[in-house]
A and B are shown apart, each in its own frame.
Chain A
Amino acid sequence: MTAGALRELERRIEQVWTIGERLGLRPLPVHFEIVPATVLYEIGAYGLPGRFSHWTHGKAYQIQKTLYDYGLSKIYELVINSDPCYAFLLETNTVLQNTLVTAHVMAHADFFANNAYFVQTRRDMVDIAALHAERIERYEFEHGKAEVERLLDAVLAIQEHVDPSVPDGTKLDSSVRSRRMQSPYDDLWALDDRQSGGRQDEEHVTKRSTLTPPEPVRDLLWFIHEYSPVLEDWERDVVAIVRSEMLYFLPQIRTKVLNEGWATRWHARIMRELDLTPEEHVEFARLHAAVVQPTGRRLNPYALGYALLCDIERRYGAEHLFLVREVESDVSLIRNYLTEELVDELDLYLYERRGDELVVVDKDWEAVRERLVSELGGNHIPVIVVEDGDYLGNRELYLRHIWDGRKLDLPWAEKTLEHVFRLWGRRVWLETRTDDGTEPLRLSYHAREGHRRHR
Chain B
Amino acid sequence: MFTLAIRRDDWSLHRKGAIDQARHMEKVKEAIKRNLADIVSEQSIITSDGKRIVRVPIRVLEEYRFRFDPEAGRQVGQGSGGTKVGDVIGRTGGSSGPGAGPQAGDEPGIDYYEAELTIDELGELIFEDLELPNLEEKRLRELESETVRFTDIRKHGPLANLDKRRTLRENLRRNAWRGQPRIGDFANEDLRFKTWERDIKRESNAVVIAMMDVSGSMGTFEKYVSRAFYYWMVRFLRTKYDHVDIRFIAHHAEAKEVSEEEFFTRGESGGTRASTAYELALQLIREHYPPDSWNIYPFHFSDGDNWPSDNDRCRELAEELLRCVNLFGYGEIRQGRYTYHSTLMHTLQRIGSPKLVTVTISDKADVYQALRRFFGPEVGQEVARA
* A299 with B66, Cβ < 8 A, contacts A70-B101, A351-B89, A360-B86 known: no
The CA-CA distance from A47 to B206 in the complex, in Å, is 58
Residues on B with C-beta less than 8 A from A72 are 98-99
Bound-state CA distance A46–B11 (Å) is: 13
Which of A345-383 touch B at CB < 8 Å?
346-353, 356-363, 368, 371-372, 375, 380-382
Bound Cα distance A36, B81 (Å)? 37
The 8 Å CB contact of B93, one of A296, A298, A356, A401, is A356
Q: CB-CB < 8 A to B93: which residues of A?
A: 356
Q: Which residues of A contact B89 (CB under 8 A)?
A: 297, 351, 358-360
Whether B78 and A298, one on each chain, are in contact in the complex, defined by CB atoms closer than 8 angstroms, is yes
Q: Are A409 and B67 in contact (CB under 8 A)?
A: yes
Partner of A63, one of B7, B65, B104: B104
On chain A, the number of residues with a Cβ less than 8 Å from chain B's Cβ atoms is 91
B85–A30 contact, CB under 8 A? no
Q: 1/0 contact trace for B1-28 toward A, CB 8 Å?
A: 1111111110111101101111111110
The answer to the question of B102 belonging to the interface, with a C-beta cut-off of 8 Å to chain A, is yes
Residues of B within 8 A of A419 (CB): 64
- Chain B interface residue count, Cβ-Cβ cutoff 8 angstroms: 69
Q: Which residues of B contact A346 (CB under 8 A)?
A: 78
When the two chains form the complex, which single residue of B26, B68, B108 contacts A406, counting CB atoms closer than 8 Å? B68
Q: Per a CB cutoff under 8 Å, which of A67, A159, A161, A347 touches B83? A: A347
**Cβ–Cβ contact B21 & A356, under 8 A:** no
The verdict on A316 contacting chain B, using a C-beta distance below 8 Å, is no
A304 to B77, CA, bound (A): 11
Asked whether, in the complex, the Cβ of B6 is within 8 Å of the Cβ of A33, the reply is: yes
Q: Is B187 an interface residue (CB 8 A)?
A: no
Does B73 have its Cβ within 8 Å of any Cβ on chain A?
yes
Whether B83 lies near A361 (C-beta < 8 A) is no
The CB with the most chain A CB atoms within 10 A, among B3, B7, B60, B86, is that of B3
User: What is the CA–CA distance of A406 and B71 in the complex, to the nearest angstrom?
Assistant: 11
B184 within 8 A of A: no
The digit string for B60-98, where 1 denotes a CB below 8 A from any CB of A, is 111111111111111111111111111111111100001
User: Contact check: which of B13, B63, B82, B100 meets A42 at CB < 8 Å?
Assistant: B13
- Would you give the shortest CB distance from A112 to chain B, in whole angstroms? 14
Q: Which residues of B contact A61 (CB under 8 A)?
A: 17, 20-21
Contact B13 A43 (CB under 8 A): yes
B103 to A350, Cβ gap below 8 A? no
Contact A359 B86 (CB under 8 A): yes
Contact A349 to B22, CB < 8 A, known contacts A297-B90, A360-B83: no
Contact A55:B24 (CB < 8 A) given known A63-B102, A66-B101: yes
Complex interface residues of chain A between 139 and 172 (CB less than 8 A to chain B): 149, 156-161
User: In the complex, what distance in Å separates the CA atom of A13 from the CA atom of B373?
Assistant: 70
Q: Give residues 397-438 of A contacting B (CB, 8 Å).
A: 401, 406-410, 412-413, 415-416, 419
Find out whether the CB atom of A55 lies under 8 angstroms from the CB atom of B88.
Answer: no
- B: residues with CB less than 8 A from A are 1-9, 11-14, 16-17, 19-27, 60-93, 98-104, 106-108, 181
Name 8 extra pairs, CB < 8 A, besides A294-B80, A350-B75. Answer: A33-B6, A59-B63, A297-B79, A353-B108, A360-B89, A361-B85, A408-B67, A409-B68
Interchain Cβ contacts under 8 Å between A and B, 7 examples: A33-B7, A59-B21, A158-B66, A300-B78, A304-B78, A360-B89, A361-B85
